[in-house]
Structure 1
């Protein structure tokens, strides 16, 4: 990350006066909608992560979901700053945060596929074991 960005710059957009984030530029219009949707999905992801963390079995999924939602909201903030300032550093940071969101999402997806396969194997083994101990279950 570029060290030229400091903690005071994160609030510079508040002092921009009447320079509006929304304009008639098609890219700006899409950016406004995208930022709004990213923030919404980020909040929903955080809430889902917190709800998953209420159970012990949900902790391994819930904690990464909280980080995912946080990264997506941070990315939305950087996209918003980029839309107001056209500073390429904000765009780079937005893409970096969005990359982290998708990277965590990819890892969780792979883990869920592996768990699904394991559960299906266990399910088939249990059914076969049940059938082998009760062969008359299918006789009429």
Structure 2
């Protein structure tokens, strides 16, 4: 299936518009990962935002090249980088939601059973 020049031109315009934001968010994500690596706990997970930032930078570069050359292979490579980025982001969101639900359930169970966390006890005494 051949893509018309008009469609390629339209996609190239959108790729050109998005390249700056892809690169900016990629750089900010890499910086946040580097800052996270400075903490003891953060060093364990710092590679994730760094990797995600690199994926966004690569997608931005492919968007820039596609906008200039209108090479469908570059568009495909950009889409592949974005797919991996959003897959990782989705997995991180699911893990966060699961951990949040478990934390809420533990709190409810502790409160129902009469066992209070010292912080809650201190707050009630105020």
How would you bin the TM-score normalised by the shorter chain? 0.7 to 0.9
Q: CA RMSD in A?
A: 2.2
- Do residues 130 (structure 1) and 98 (structure 2) align? no
Q: How many residues align?
A: 108
Structure number with higher relative contact order (C-alpha < 8 Å, ≥ 6 residues apart): 2
2:38 to 54, 57, 67: 54
1:76 to 60, 64, 76: 60
Superposition TM-score, scaled by structure 2 size: 0.73
Superposition TM-score, scaled by structure 1 size: 0.67
User: Which residue number in structure 2 is paired with residue 31 of structure 1?
Assistant: 15
Give the superposition deviation at 1:38: 0.6
1:93 to 74, 77, 100: 77
User: Rg larger in 1 or in 2?
Assistant: 1
Distance of 1:52 and 1:27 partners within structure 2: 36
Give the superposition deviation at 1:52: 2.0
Q: How does 1:2-41 map to 2 (within 5 A)?
A: 27-41=11-25
Q: Which segments of 5 or more consecutive residues in structure 2 lack a partner in the other structure? A: 1-8, 118-123
The structure with the largest helix share of the pair is 2
